[in-house]
Chain A
Amino acid sequence: MFEDIILILDSTLRLSTPLLFACLAGLFSERSGIVDIGLEGKMLGAAFAAGAAAYMTGSPWMGLLAGIIVSVMLAIIHGYASITQRGNQVVAGVAINFLAAGLTVLLGQAWFNQGGRTPQLAISARFDDITLPFAEALQDVPFVGPIYHDLISGHNLLVYLSFVMVPLTWWIVFRTRFGLRLRAVGESPAAVDTAGISVTWLRYRAVILCGVLCGFAGTYLAIAQSAGFIKDMSAGKGFIALAALIFAKWRPVSAMFTCLLFGFLDALAIRMQGQEIPGIGEVPVQVFQALPYVLTVVLLAGFIGRAIPPKASGIPYVKERT
């Protein structure tokens, strides 16, 4: 039983990581007032780029770099449409999703001829699992040992990085000048403008940061969790991350716990596959997969407090003309 729990929690961490990166990415964008439904597309684009680059260079670091570059490029397209051109942010985000879904398969087929996949990666071209210091030594200590050795140790670098990003994001958003302005521009861009700060540049920076973090999320999918890019491998994680962001009310620490909860549901779903629950029978996997969305809808309906988005989110900033 204890081992089962450790196993489920272990896979919870792995499954939460891409959600957490994408959720924090969305946090930067949405705090600046840019609704980002294109997290999914940016992740997918980054996953493909990371898979392709890691295969061709043999280096996971080059894969990460490529993933970030592609994701940032998609973010800039989204920014150009919604900040400079003042277009509809949701429509622009959906366009990014379609663009990424189509283009990754098209380019993948053209370059590698494996039905839209990138070729299988060798271990050296991936982010491999890390064994933390003393993990082996402590392995046999009761209780603490398994937790440290099996649960905390033995993940790849990106997993640890995603959790480091949580306090870092909190610190940026709540303790720095950039964070103050970021929060302000999502609530009242006119106040930012009259304070002599460029709304456009501020929002671009937020969107680019969002792109960088989506780059990590996508890279994780392709070359840390798996050994290559597979068609549509983001599989709705961008949307779940968005739901987590709403669930967490746009706050970094809550975002982490929400992502862990959604990751846990996912891990549970995998674990419960084909297993009978006494008295109930076999529960379809889809029940667990739908839970994040159900929870978010319940939240939005106002049953668990209120989720109030930044006031200016979704509204392009136009200087008033009197």
Chain B
Amino acid sequence: MTEQSVPAIELSGINKSFGPVHANKDINLRVGKGSIHGIVGENGAGKSTLMSILYGFYHADSGEIHVDGKSVHITDSKRAIELGIGMVHQHFMLVDPFTVVENVMLGAEGGAMLNKGIDQARTELKRLADEYDMKVDPDAVVGELSVGLQQRVEILKALYRGADILILDEPTGVLTPAEADHLFRILRVLRDQGKTVLLITHKLREIMDVTDAVSVMRRGEMVSSLKTADTSMAELAELMVGRSVLLEVDKKPAEPGEVLLRVENLNVKDERGVMRVKDVNFEVRAGEILGIAGVSGNGQSELLEAISGIRRAQTGTMDLAGDHVDLSHSHNAGQMRQMGMSHVPEDRHRMGLVTSFAEYENSILGYHREPEYSKGWFLDLKAIRSEAEHRIQKYDIRPPNPDLKAAKFSGGNQQKIVLAREIERDPDVLLVGQPTRGVDIGAIEYIHKRIIEMRDAGKAVLLVSVELDEIRSLSDRIIVMFDGQVVGERGADASEGELGLLMAGVNEEHAA
């Protein structure tokens, strides 16, 4: 690519604060025309803020933006679209009950009446689909499409508006590995046709696979910009965190003991009456980690909720450390806890914490009836606080202030608060859902270590994660869920490709 020519985007001295939080500090960035440029950084490093400034969602407090060499003021998204900037948001900006055509033309209808615009959009969609190999039925209802296709609609939407610069914010979070590969193929075609792609991600492997250049952000600052060919994952990880990190998890082989958790014949419906978990059976032994892999939304959440006592199942039984539970009868999370189960829920904001409560209050949620935390009808605040302070020390929770509201902690530290609460009760069985979602690399390393420690202490650990890397590095056995069913079980040495196929619902053993 011609990197000496005028860059597609040049940012200089961009500053943005939200109240006391300095989200972007003096950012400089050059993105070469016709290249794929990656931006990596931990959660909260300021990547999304920077891109939102570029797309006109926020205004920079100071700084200059040049697009194709011309100084511009991006006042709103409309201006950004006019300048040829398109964005594919992490959470899709689509209208679910609308058809593909309606979604694509929204905001670019081509007149006050729709009839002419629809025909035009249909023709143009077909042209774009042929040119970039992105087939999609223009009359399909978007809400009924798979996430991979929905994302394609988002890209088509941007291209329909004539985008030359495409920003993708964490595009692979919801995709299977195969879908992600297809996306990268599309991005390469776009680049080769002269489009500029900005790829925001926290997955270093994607950066290495697909980008030409990469910029690293850390705590609101642009730390470094490199050619991808000249760097390595280890170097990027170090730049992101500011110190060297261990990407591989260090663990001994498992020594499985007796079965502590056995789930049989589990069927779970969601609140809309759709069967989300279908005939699932599995067991977890003492001293092993069973990983449940799968693309988000294939029944893992409902499974966790059912066995942790939050959701009633249609059918299913569970043997939990010597107790037998009928999951289709009324049960609750408190009873499960009594029987020796702890649960680190998938969504810490919604289920793990009361974010408007102080840290010390959160540190005993669900265990507040335990005799050591209460005096009759009252809470023993002194005991609770001293326990909270002890855990803050032990788990290195920062800032070390038990009176701070949970909402004020970073994602990683919030997760540590939840993890500490559940681990410190010394359960027999530990359920962990998405333990590192929205958690920075440094804390990921720590959380992984703690989960392995639980295993080595002879606990049964059930790990649910949509991050395949996490599943593969922690688990001793892996089962894969697709459309509510367990489609296969593999050992810890299963290849990514093999698991990826299972996650897409393809089971070669069945096919054969």
Contacts and interface: CB of A to CB of B under 8 A. Distances in A.
- The answer to whether A and B assemble together is yes
Interface of A: 175-181, 183-184, 187-188, 190-197, 311, 319, 321-322
Given A180-B102, A180-B109, A196 B81 contact: yes
A181 B48 contact: no
Nearest to B105: A180
Given A177-B111, A180-B114, A311-B96, A192 B49 contact: no
A187 B143 CA distance: 11
Interface of B: 18, 48-49, 52, 55, 57, 76-81, 87, 89, 91, 93-98, 102-103, 105-109, 111-115, 117
A254 to B, nearest CB: 16
A191 B153 CA distance: 13
A179 B112 CA distance: 10
A297 B80 CA distance: 47
Contacts of B97: 187
B52 A322 contact: yes
A294 B290 CA distance: 52
A181 B48 CA distance: 26
Given A175-B114, A181-B106, A321 B18 contact: yes
A106 B491 CA distance: 79
A175 B113 contact: yes
Contact of A194 (B79, B93, B98, B117): B93
B49 A322 contact: yes
Contacts of B105: 180
A188 B76 contact: no
B119 to A, nearest CB: 14
Nearest to A171: B113
A72 B195 CA distance: 48
Contact of B106 (A176, A195, A322): A195
B95 A177 contact: no
Contacts of A176: 112-114
A181 B95 CA distance: 10
B351 to A, nearest CB: 21
Contacts, number: 74
A194 B109 CA distance: 15
Nearest to B82: A196
B48 A184 contact: no
Contacts of A179: 114
Contacts of B96: 187-188, 311
Contact of B109 (A177, A187, A322): A177
B269 to A, nearest CB: 15
Given A187-B98, A191-B93, A197-B107, 13 more contacts: A176-B112, A177-B111, A177-B112, A177-B114, A180-B102, A181-B106, A184-B102, A188-B93, A190-B91, A194-B77, A194-B87, A195-B81, A197-B78
20 contacts: A175-B113, A177-B114, A177-B117, A180-B102, A180-B106, A187-B98, A190-B91, A191-B95, A191-B103, A192-B106, A192-B107, A194-B55, A194-B77, A194-B89, A195-B81, A195-B107, A196-B80, A196-B107, A197-B78, A321-B18
Nearest to B88: A194
A191 B106 CA distance: 9
A176 B97 CA distance: 17
A217 B177 CA distance: 57
Nearest to B91: A190
Contacts of B94: 188, 191
Among B79, B98, B106, find the residue whose CB has the most chain A CB atoms closer than 10 A.
Answer: B106
A322 B91 CA distance: 12
Contact of B95 (A188, A321, A322): A188
Contacts of B93: 188, 190-191, 193-195
A319 B18 CA distance: 13
Contacts of A180: 102, 105-106, 109, 114
B39 to A, nearest CB: 14
Nearest to B78: A196
Contacts of B52: 322
A175 B115 contact: yes
Contacts of B117: 177
B112 A196 contact: no
Contact of A196 (B77, B91, B102, B111): B77
B98 A183 contact: yes
A133 to B, nearest CB: 32
Among B48, B98, B107, B113, find the residue whose CB has the most chain A CB atoms closer than 10 A.
Answer: B107
Contacts of B91: 190
A321 B94 CA distance: 19
Nearest to B97: A187
Contacts of A194: 55, 57, 77, 87, 89, 93
B129 to A, nearest CB: 20
Contacts of A177: 109, 111-114, 117
A195 B77 contact: yes
Nearest to B114: A175
